[in-house]
């Protein structure tokens, strides 16, 4: 809006400079100390003031400006002019339509961001084979995610949680899948594994404690990983 | 005369005619709504604006005017332009974040395909 009639730095009217844009429009004498003079010059200021006057009215704007600290008045005038012109352009919604449009844009971007962050999370999942797993291990490797499994990025797709949930849950399930208890027995008690007696004690716990996990559980996987680390 | 004055006519301390332009939109149980609009726009300006609109659009116009008036009362300097500015900043920040995540995705995809290739070999 700078250079278009709103001139916050110009001095007050009523002097040799002629009436300000507001007083010109109102066809009244521009007195010294006119509240509008610093902000509406005599050339294009009148056009801007016309819009402001039509929507808000001169006395309402005057009251508004009087309630605003002087150093903030230029900004206030600019925002009032913006709202007035928006209201004249769109008499029903004014600048509210602009706000709604921006809100929708924010939502759309945030949805796209969430989608990409979830996509990134699936790409950054740890690799199927942890370094400590022996070569002879018969544990089934994790099914590597394929990029083609994921939908193409499309801004029009909003409900993405249902698309990602099965992928995420299956990957998680595979990660958490415990080694079956007989696999625990299958591990050599000595040889490359230190502390084999502990392993057998753990195996006994599984049998006698009745803890034969068929579902993934963090505790079980923790135990398995502990055993694996000892190798 | 409308026996029950609308909020506008109550505020203006006048009779509420049957064809009062404000009465459909300013029920007497919500005096603050008209007070806010009157403070910023003035009754005369609101009346003129509504008269220039088709009747079916006036309710929406009143709601948007109320919103803008409330924003102006809450923030006398920027009004709802402050909200626009905030939203624009939010959009800019989200776009920057999006660009960053897109770059990270590209890197992760490259790494993944490289790992897959090396595993295959």
ipTM, 2 dp: 0.88
> What does the pLDDT read at residue B115?
84
CA A47 to chain centre: 40
Are B10 and B65 part of one and the same domain? yes
pLDDT score recorded for residue A127 = 60
CB contact under 8 A, A94 and B68: yes
| Inter-chain CB proximity A106 and B83 less than 8 Å | no
Tell me, yes or no, whether B114 and B94 share the same domain: yes
Q: What is the pLDDT of residue B3?
A: 62
Asked whether residue B10 falls in the same domain as residue B47, the answer is yes
Is the CB of residue A20 less than 8 Å from the CB of residue A48?
A: no
| Spans of all domains in chain A | 21-89, 95-124
What is the block-wise mean pLDDT of chain A (231 residues), using blocks of 10 residues?
A: 52 65 92 93 91 95 95 96 96 96 97 95 73 52 42 37 38 42 37 40 41 40 37 37
Number of neighbours of residue A113 by Cβ within 10 angstroms:
17
pLDDT score of A131: 58
Same domain, B110 and B61: no
Please tell me the pTM assigned to this model. Answer: 0.64
Q: Is A95 on the interface with B (CB under 8 A)?
A: yes
User: Which residues, including other chains, have CB under 8 Å from residue A99's CB and lie 6 or more apart?
Assistant: B80, B83, B84, B87
> Per-residue DSSP letters for A165-217?
HHHHHHHHHHHHPPPPHHHHHHS-SSTTSS-HHHHHHHHHHHHHTT---SS--
Given a contact cutoff of 8 angstroms between Cβ atoms, the answer to whether A65 and A35 are in contact is yes
pLDDT of residue B121: 65
Whether residues B19 and B47 share a domain: the answer is yes
Q: Are B46 and B61 found together in one domain?
A: yes
User: Would you state the pLDDT for residue A134?
Assistant: 55
CB pair distance less than 8 Å for B40 and A99: no
Supply φ then ψ for residue A3, to 5 degrees.
70, 20
Q: What is the H or E stretch that residue A23 is in?
A: helix A21-26
B69 lies in the same domain as B87? no
Residues of chain B neighbouring A123 (CB-CB closer than 8 A): 105, 108-109, 112
pLDDT of A183 reads 36
Whole-number pLDDT of residue A135: 53
- B64/B21 same-domain check: yes
Residue numbers of the domain that contains B29: 1-74
Taking the CA atoms of A143, A146, A149 and A151 in sequence, report the sign of the dihedral they define. positive
Q: Rounded to a whole number, what is the distance in Å from the CA of A217 to chain B's nearest CA?
A: 28
Instruction: Provide the CA B81 distance to its chain's centre, in angstroms.
Output: 10
CB atoms within 10 A of CB B118: 8
Q: Find the residue in B nearest to A110 (Cα).
A: B94
- What 3-state DSSP class applies to A6? strand
**B22 shares its domain with B61:** yes
Are B113 and B91 in the same domain?
Answer: yes
Q: Is the pLDDT of residue B17 over 90?
A: yes
| Interchain CB contacts (distance < 8 Å): A and B | 115
Same domain, yes or no: B50 and B16: yes
State mean pLDDT over B59-75. 96
User: Which pLDDT score, from 0 to 100, does residue B119 have?
Assistant: 75
The residues, ordered by sequence, that sit 6+ positions from B22 with a Cβ below 8 Å of its Cβ are: B6, B7, B8, B9, B34, B43, B46, B47, B50
* Candidates B78, B97, B107, B119, partner chain A, best to mutate (most A CBs within 10 A): B78
Do B70 and B84 fall within a single domain? no
pLDDT at residue A125, rounded to an integer = 78
pLDDT at B114: 87
Q: Which pLDDT tens digit goes with each residue over B24-66?
A: 999 999 999 999 999 999 999 999 999 999 999 999 999 999 9
Identify the residue with better confidence: B103 or A5.
B103
Chain B contact for A219, CB < 8 A? no
By the CB < 8 Å criterion, does B112 face chain A?
yes
List CB contacts (< 8 A) between B107 and chain A: none
List of residues 6+ apart from A6 with CB closer than 8 A: A39, A40, A41, A45, A48, A74, A77, A78, A81
Q: Which residues of B touch A109 (CB under 8 A)?
A: 91, 94-95, 98
The residue of chain B nearest to residue A79, with distances taken between CA atoms, is B78
Mean pLDDT of B67-89: 96
- Cβ atoms B47, B25 nearer than 8 A: no
Report pLDDT digits (tens) over A20-48.
999 999 999 999 999 999 999 988 899 99
pLDDT at res. A75: 95
Total domains present in chain B: 2
Task: Check residue B71 and give its pLDDT.
Answer: 96
What kind and span of H or E run contains B66? helix B55-74
């Amino acid at each position: 809006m700078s250079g278009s009639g709103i001139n916050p730095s110009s001095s007050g009217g009523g002097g040799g400079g002629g009436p300000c844009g507001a007083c010109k429009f109102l066809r009244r004498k521009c007195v010294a100390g006119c509240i509008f003079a610093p902000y509406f010059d005599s050339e294009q200021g009148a056009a801007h003031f016309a819009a402001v006057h039509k929507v808000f009215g001169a006395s309402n704007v005057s009251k508004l400006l009087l309630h605003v600290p002087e150093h903030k008045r230029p900004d206030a005038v600019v925002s009032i002019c913006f709202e007035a012109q928006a209201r004249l352009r769109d008499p029903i919604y004014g600048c509210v339509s602009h706000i709604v449009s921006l809100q929708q844009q924010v939502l759309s971007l945030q949805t796209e961001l969430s989608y990409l962050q979830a996509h990134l999370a699936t790409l950054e999942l740890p690799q199927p084979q942890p370094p400590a797993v022996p070569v002879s291990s018969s544990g089934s490797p994790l099914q590597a995610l394929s990029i083609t499994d994921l939908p193409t990025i499309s801004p029009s797709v909003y409900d993405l949680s249902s698309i990602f949930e099965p992928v995420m849950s299956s990957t998680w399930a595979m990660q958490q899948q415990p080694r079956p208890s007989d696999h625990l027995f299958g591990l050599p008690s000595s040889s490359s594994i230190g502390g084999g007696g502990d392993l057998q004690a753990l195996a006994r716990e599984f049998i006698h404690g009745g803890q034969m996990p068929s579902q993934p559980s963090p505790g079980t996987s923790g135990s398995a990983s502990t055993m694996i680390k000892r190798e | 005369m409308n026996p029950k004055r609308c909020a506008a006519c109550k505020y203006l301390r006048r009779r509420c005619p049957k064809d009062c332009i404000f009465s459909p939109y300013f029920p007497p149980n919500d005096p603050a709504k008209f007070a806010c609009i009157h403070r910023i726009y003035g009754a005369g300006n609101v009346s003129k604006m509504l008269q220039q609109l088709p009747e079916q659009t006036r309710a929406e116009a009143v709601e948007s005017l109320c919103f803008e008036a409330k924003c102006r009362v809450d923030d006398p300097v920027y009004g709802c332009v402050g909200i626009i500015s905030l939203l624009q900043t939010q959009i800019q920040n989200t776009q920057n974040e999006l660009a960053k995540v897109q770059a990270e995705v590209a890197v992760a995809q490259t790494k993944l395909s490289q790992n897959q290739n090396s595993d295959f070999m």
